[in-house]
């Protein structure tokens, strides 16, 4: 081969390499990562701003754990001052509760030395509840996405903690361990119950009367709590005065408790879009051409296992990281199929991965889900390639989306945001 041939080959070689998107940024669990395809097709990753000083990382870690996502831009003015005084309020209240616990134990006739030890054990038991609250507070995004499921889990955890406390007299030498574990479960339950209370009440507010609904709901809860305390005192002095009686009445009351909260959640018409509700709306629309309202879907939701795939909605699975959902060789092709969209769809053998851009809304998720549903339907009756099927499905989605969205909003659905829990998102 002469020199002229070598020069010609060198000029042609760059044309053989397809143009690949240079990089993108994925954000998951408040950590941003920079992904980039190298010229040889390998994927490299590094944490954005990995050269930050240690003090800044510590501060940001604290903000991520104790302040809302997106702080300070996600809250109104005054939130920091409110939080500062709220922290001081709880600090002084906790210190006062230690003194009151000690005084109550003294008043009960315990001698000073054993009372001091018992007071410490009792306070440590209560401290386990605070540990449970801290751990559960990190799951707030998931509670936004699935408030019904977490409300049920809260009551199951509360009954579990109460059951451990009931059993504590059987092993007095393990009082701190058993009662502490029970309080740990109850601490998680308290956070989950409080965090899900607002979205559940919001689903019933029809005329901006959220405060009135909340106040009346608390009034009903208080009334029946007082009645329940009276019945509990009566049971404790009669049927449940022995452990055998507690073993019978305890499980029965717990079963009634959990069954009631399940029926409460089944009756709640939550009108925000999450993966399960979006899939159900799309599946009904593709099958029947009709839009289901929040009230229509409430009794069809899977409250315990909401992540199940729905075939008529395209078997979409949302929240996978972009570098895991899409092969490097397919990324450019998928971007060209969905120009200007805030999502990437990557069909697989068993399901279709959906990855949303960082600022994608509920409307973007609905567009993606409709494409996946139409593509799945077309694939059954066509032998076209995946890219051609996706292109046809995308065109069909565009032709029906505007009337679909209008009717969806008329039915009461909130389409301004999509609650996907802790799903990974990306940005170009």
What is the chain's alpha carbon radius of gyration, rounded to the nearest angstrom?
Answer: 28
User: Nearest to residue 274, comparing CAs of 74, 413, 375?
Assistant: 413
Between 2 and 78, the higher pLDDT residue: 78
347-370 confidence digits (pLDDT tens): 888 899 999 988 899 999 999 999
373-406 confidence digits (pLDDT tens): 999 888 877 777 888 999 999 999 999 999 999 9
270-313 confidence digits (pLDDT tens): 899 999 999 999 999 999 999 999 989 988 999 888 888 999 99
User: Nearest to residue 70, comparing CAs of 366, 358, 392?
Assistant: 358
Task: Specify the residue for token string 């990562």.
Answer: 33
CA–CA distance, 274 with 349 (Å, rounded to integer): 24
Burial of 74 (0-12, 13-18, 19+ CB in 10 A): exposed
This prediction's pTM: 0.73
Burial of 150 (0-12, 13-18, 19+ CB in 10 A): buried
Burial of 145 (0-12, 13-18, 19+ CB in 10 A): buried
- Kindly list the domain boundaries of the chain, sorted by start residue: 67-107, 110-266, 272-427
- Contact between 326 and 355 under an 8 Å Cβ cutoff? The reply is yes
- Contact between 353 and 345 under an 8 Å Cβ cutoff? The reply is yes
**Residue 82 pLDDT:** 52
């Amino acid at each position: 081969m002469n020199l002229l041939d070598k020069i010609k080959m060198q000029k042609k070689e760059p044309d053989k390499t397809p143009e690949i998107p240079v990089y993108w940024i994925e954000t998951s669990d408040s950590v941003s990562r920079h992904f980039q395809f190298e010229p040889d097709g390998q994927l490299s990753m590094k944490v954005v701003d990995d050269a930050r000083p240690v003090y800044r990382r510590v501060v940001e870690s604290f903000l991520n754990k104790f302040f809302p996502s997106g702080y300070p831009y996600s809250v109104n003015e005054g939130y920091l001052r409110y939080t500062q005084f709220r922290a001081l309020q709880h600090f002084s209240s906790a210190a006062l509760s230690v003194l009151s616990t000690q005084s109550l134990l003294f008043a009960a006739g315990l001698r000073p030395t054993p009372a001091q030890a018992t007071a410490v054990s009792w306070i440590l038991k209560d401290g386990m509840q605070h540990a449970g609250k801290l751990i559960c507070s990190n799951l707030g995004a998931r509670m936004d996405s699935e408030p019904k499921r977490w409300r049920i889990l809260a009551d199951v955890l509360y009954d579990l903690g109460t059951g451990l406390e009931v059993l504590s007299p059987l092993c007095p030498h393990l009082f701190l361990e058993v009662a502490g574990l029970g309080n740990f479960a109850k601490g998680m339950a308290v956070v989950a119950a409080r965090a899900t209370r607002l979205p559940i009440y919001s689903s019933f507010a029809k005329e901006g009367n959220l405060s009135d609904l909340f106040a009346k709901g608390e009034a009903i809860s208080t009334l029946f709590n007082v009645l329940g305390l009276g019945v509990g005192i009566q049971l404790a002095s009669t049927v449940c005065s022995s452990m055998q009686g507690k073993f019978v009445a305890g499980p029965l009351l717990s079963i009634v408790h959990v069954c009631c909260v399940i029926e409460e959640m089944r009756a709640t018409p939550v009108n925000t879009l999450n993966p399960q509700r979006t899939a159900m709306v799309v599946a009904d629309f593709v099958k029947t051409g009709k839009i289901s309202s929040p009230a229509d879907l409430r009794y069809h939701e899977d409250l315990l296992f909401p992540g199940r795939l729905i075939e008529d909605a395209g078997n979409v699975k949302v929240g996978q990281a972009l570098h895991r959902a899409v092969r490097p060789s397919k990324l450019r092709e998928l971007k060209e199929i969905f120009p200007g969209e805030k999502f990437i769809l990557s069909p697989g053998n068993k399901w279709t991965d959906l990855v949303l851009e960082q600022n994608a809304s509920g409307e973007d998720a609905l567009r993606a889900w409709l494409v996946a549903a139409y593509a799945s339907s077309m694939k059954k009756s066509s032998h076209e390639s995946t890219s051609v099927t996706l292109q046809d499905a995308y065109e069909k989605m565009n032709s029906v989306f505007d009337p679909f969205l209008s009717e969806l909003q008329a039915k009461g659905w909130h389409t301004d945001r999509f609650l996907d829990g802790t799903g990974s998102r990306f940005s170009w």
